[in-house]
Amino acid sequence: MKENKNYNRRSFIETASLVTAGFYVMPVISSCNSVPSSALPKVETTVNSDFNADVDIQLKAVQSSTKILYTKNTYTYSYKGSLIKGNKQTLQQLEGSALDPIIRVKKGDRVRIRFENEIAEKSIIHWHGLHVSHKNDGHPEHVIDKGETYIYEFEVMNRAGTYWFHPHPHGRTGEQVYKGLAGLFIVTDEEEKALNLPTGDYDIPVVIQDKTFDESNQLVYLSNGRMDQMRGFLGNQILINGKMDNTLSLNKDGKYQLRLLNGSNSRAYKLAWNTKEPMTVFGVDGGLLEGPKTLPYLILAPAQRVDVWLDLSKKSESEELKLIHLPIPLDNMMGGGMMGGGMMRNNSDHSLPYNSQFDILNIHVGVSRKNDAQLPDRLSVSQALDAANAVNRTSPRTFNFGMEGMMQWTINGRTYKGNEVVDDEIVKLNTTEVWRINNGGKISTANQNNGSGMMGNNRGMGNMMQMPHPVHIHQLQFNVVNRNSENVDRNLWNAVKDGFINEGWQDSVYLLSGMYMDLVMRFEDFKGLFLYHCHNLEHEDMGMMRNFKIE
Ligand code: C2O
Ligand code: CU
Ligand code: CU
* CB atoms closer than 10 angstroms to residue 376: 12
Q: In this predicted structure, what is the pLDDT of residue 465?
A: 75
Q: Which atom of ligand 1 sits closest to the CA of residue 166?
A: 1
* CB atoms closer than 10 angstroms to residue 304: 25
Percent of the chain with pLDDT over 70: 85
Per-residue pLDDT band for 306 (boundaries 50, 70, 90) equals very high
Closest by Cα among 206, 265, 241, 147 to 536? 265
Per-residue pLDDT band for 227 (boundaries 50, 70, 90) equals confident
Handedness of CA 309, 311, 317, 321 (dihedral sign): negative
Q: In this predicted structure, what is the pLDDT of residue 275?
A: 97
Q: How do beta strands 247-252 and 237-240 pair?
A: unpaired
CA of 171 to the centre of ligand 3 (A): 14
Q: In this predicted structure, what is the pLDDT of residue 38?
A: 45
- Complete DSSP assignment for 466-526: ---EEEEESS--BEEEEEE-TTS-HHHHHHHGGG---SS-BSEEEE-TT-EEEEEEEE-S-
H helical segments located in 207-363: 226-231
Q: Closest Cα to atom 1, ligand 1: which residue? A: 128
Pocket of ligand 1 (CB under 6 A): 126, 128, 166, 168, 303, 472, 474, 531, 533, 535
Higher pLDDT, 121 or 20: 121
Per-residue pLDDT band for 476 (boundaries 50, 70, 90) equals very high
Q: In this predicted structure, what is the pLDDT of residue 12?
A: 41
Per-residue pLDDT band for 443 (boundaries 50, 70, 90) equals confident
Contact between 364 and 250 under an 8 Å Cβ cutoff? The reply is: yes
Q: In this predicted structure, what is the pLDDT of residue 344?
A: 52
Contact between 284 and 298 under an 8 Å Cβ cutoff? The reply is: no
Q: What is the pTM of this model?
A: 0.89
CA of 258 to the centre of ligand 3 (A): 27
Q: In this predicted structure, what is the pLDDT of residue 33?
A: 37
Q: Which ligand sits closest to the CA of 506? A: 2
Buried b (16+ CB within 10 A) or exposed e, 122-149: bbbbbbbbbbbbbbbbbbbebbbbbbbb
CA of 476 to the centre of ligand 3 (A): 20
Q: Which atom of ligand 1 sits closest to the CA of residue 533?
A: 2
pLDDT > 50? residue 356: yes
Q: In this predicted structure, what is the pLDDT of residue 238?
A: 98
- Range from 38-47, 81-90, 358-367 carrying the lowest mean pLDDT: 38-47
Contact between 294 and 279 under an 8 Å Cβ cutoff? The reply is: yes
Burial class (CB in 10 A: 0-12, 13-18, 19+), 367: exposed
Q: What's the mean pLDDT in 169-173?
A: 98
CA-angle at 260, arms to 61 and 129, nearest 5°: 60
The single-letter DSSP state of residue 496 is H
Tens of pLDDT, residue by residue over 86-131, are 999 999 998 888 888 999 999 999 999 999 999 999 999 999 999 9
CA of 474 to the centre of ligand 2 (A): 4
Q: How do beta strands 431-438 and 397-404 pair?
A: parallel
Q: Which ligand sits closest to the CA of 540? A: 3
Q: What's the mean pLDDT in 362-382?
A: 95
Q: What's the mean pLDDT in 18-31?
A: 34
- Range from 233-237, 282-286, 448-452 carrying the lowest mean pLDDT: 448-452
Tens of pLDDT, residue by residue over 229-263, are 999 999 999 999 999 999 999 999 999 999 999 99
CA-angle at 177, arms to 247 and 321, nearest 5°: 15
pLDDT > 70? residue 549: yes
Tens of pLDDT, residue by residue over 149-159, are 999 999 999 99
